[in-house]
């Protein structure tokens, strides 16, 4: 047994730690690893699979399905571009429409996830972190009781229990699934309804349509993705319509009804309107924090009206020594935010480095088809803050591959600038590769780059990315 493992075992027997982390998702793991790097004795309390939502029912399996859908879309274009399949006796014919064998792909997807679980387990062991496969509950600010009867004492406790999807409180809600249920599917249902127009709803609608389902979206608001720039979202909605996705905007879903004994469902909206039959329906109406049963309110930890743990800019709660990161807390519900906040918090607590996560200029991507990303201010936000000092540039174009295949899909790139120096305060990208392009431009925005800096950068041709530095 390694010295680190011996130390962890001794600490467990003493039930004394420097830090107890409740929750083994992205934020909790990041905190545990960073604290251990700084020499802290760490216990990680997690009853389920390591990696939380992101690894098991979120970012990772979602991106895998997105990639499968993207490959399918490109295979469909291949025939239009002249690719042929070899037939009998050397004859050639146009490529047939590609269909995904879901069970085969799921094997690859789960193999990838299992490898991540293995990496986490090895790293935890190497770091000497004690993993407690149990649920934890705070008895006070320094004591965590586990379901197995273990009681852990620590100078500090970190809450990193994440969140969960939920069904709205409407009649027949149990006839629909939530995003977690999607990952148990083994085929694309012929007709699917998506209720919700945020990140998850948009992503599921795009990939299911690309994988062969006929998708309809029911959205309460007047548009998709209300937190994103209007022009870019409007172009995405048009791309979706061209791809066959039907949208019912400003539609309140009041109830679900069983269509038949085969599991079909009908959507009833405000005014009594009833939809056609769907083979499946998924709710993408938001997530709730996993704060129930943790004993937080009993020890005085403040929660907001939705149940999130209220934290300050350093992720401290209202109780000294108790901290929170990730979706369980009042901060942007993004995996990289949880990881970054957790690492900075541990650097402050155990290395004396006053690092705090800036909540401004956080880049984010929606894995729609095509992907949509943004960093900084939308045009509306910029005008609300800076008025007439705002200058906007945008370009709408077809990427080369889609032009060659005469495909309908359009891209839209947009820059939001302020002041006489035209400092770039917002970059908004919709199109092929937007997810990869945005990361570098996010650095530029954080460094205060101006439009002239963009213009002074030599374009890489021919690419979609060059449009960002060529806009005038």
Active-site residue set: 461
The 8-class DSSP code of residue 298 comes to: G
**CA 55 to CA 110: how far, in whole Å?**
10
Tell me the two tokens of residue 29: 């793991």
Closest CA to 285 of 369, 219, 214: 219
**How many other C-beta atoms can be found within 10 angstroms of the C-beta atom of residue 460?**
10
**CA 440 to CA 424: how far, in whole Å?**
14
DSSP collapsed to 3 states, 10-49 = HHHHHCEEEEEEECCEHHHHHHHHHHHHCCCCEEEECCCC
**CA 319 to CA 129: how far, in whole Å?**
25
Tell me the two tokens of residue 444: 């530029």
Closest CA to 311 of 26, 27, 24, 25: 27
**CA 11 to CA 442: how far, in whole Å?**
42
Residues 172/179, Cβ–Cβ less than 8 Å: no
């Amino acid at each position: 047994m390694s010295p680190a493992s011996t130390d962890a075992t001794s600490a467990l027997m003493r039930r004394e730690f420097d830090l107890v982390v409740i929750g083994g998702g992205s934020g909790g793991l990041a905190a545990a690893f960073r604290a251990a790097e700084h020499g802290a004795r760490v216990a990680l309390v997690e009853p389920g699979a390591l990696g939380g939502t992101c690894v098991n029912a979120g970012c990772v399996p979602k991106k895998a399905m997105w990639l499968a859908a993207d490959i399918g879309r490109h295979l469909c274009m291949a025939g239009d571009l002249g690719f042929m399949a070899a037939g009998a006796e050397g004859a050639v014919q146009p490529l047939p429409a590609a269909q995904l064998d879901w069970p085969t792909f799921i094997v690859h997807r789960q193999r990838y996830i299992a490898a991540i679980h293995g990496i986490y387990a090895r790293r935890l062991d190497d770091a000497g972190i004690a993993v407690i496969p149990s649920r934890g509950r705070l008895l006070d600010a320094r004591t965590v009781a586990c379901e197995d009867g273990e009681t852990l004492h620590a100078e500090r406790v970190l809450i990193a229990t994440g969140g969960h999807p939920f069904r709205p409180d409407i009649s027949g809600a149990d006839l629909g699934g939530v995003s977690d249920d999607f990952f148990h599917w083994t085929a694309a249902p012929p007709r699917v309804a998506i209720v919700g127009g945020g990140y998850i709803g948009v992503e599921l609608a795009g990939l299911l349509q690309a994988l062969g389902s006929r998708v309809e979206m029911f959205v309460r608001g007047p548009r998709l993705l209300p937190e994103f720039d209007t022009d870019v979202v409007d172009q995405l909605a048009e791309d979706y319509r061209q791809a066959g996705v039907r949208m019912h905007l400003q539609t309140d879903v009041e109830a679900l009804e069983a269509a038949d004994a085969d599991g079909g469902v009908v959507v009833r909206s405000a005014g009594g309107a009833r939809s056609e039959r769907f083979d499946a329906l998924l709710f993408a109406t938001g997530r709730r924090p996993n704060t129930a049963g943790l004993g937080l309110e009993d020890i005085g930890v403040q929660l907001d009206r939705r149940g999130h743990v209220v934290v300050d800019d350093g992720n401290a709660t209202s109780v000294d020594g108790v901290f929170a990161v990730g979706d369980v807390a009042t901060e942007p519900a993004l995996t990289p935010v949880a990881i970054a906040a957790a690492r900075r918090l541990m650097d402050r607590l155990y290395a004396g480095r006053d690092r705090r996560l800036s909540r401004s200029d956080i880049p984010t991507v929606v894995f729609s088809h095509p992907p949509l990303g943004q960093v900084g201010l939308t045009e509306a936000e910029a005008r609300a803050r800076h008025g007439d000092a705002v200058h906007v540039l945008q370009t709408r174009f077809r990427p080369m591959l889609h032009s060659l295949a005469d495909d309908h899909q359009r891209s839209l790139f947009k820059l939001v600038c302020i002041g006489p120096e035209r400092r770039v305060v917002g970059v908004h990208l919709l199109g092929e590769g937007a997810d990869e392009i945005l990361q570098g431009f996010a650095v530029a925005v954080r460094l205060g780059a101006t439009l002239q800096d963009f213009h002074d950068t030599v374009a890489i041709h021919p690419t979609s990315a060059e449009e960002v530095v060529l806009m005038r």
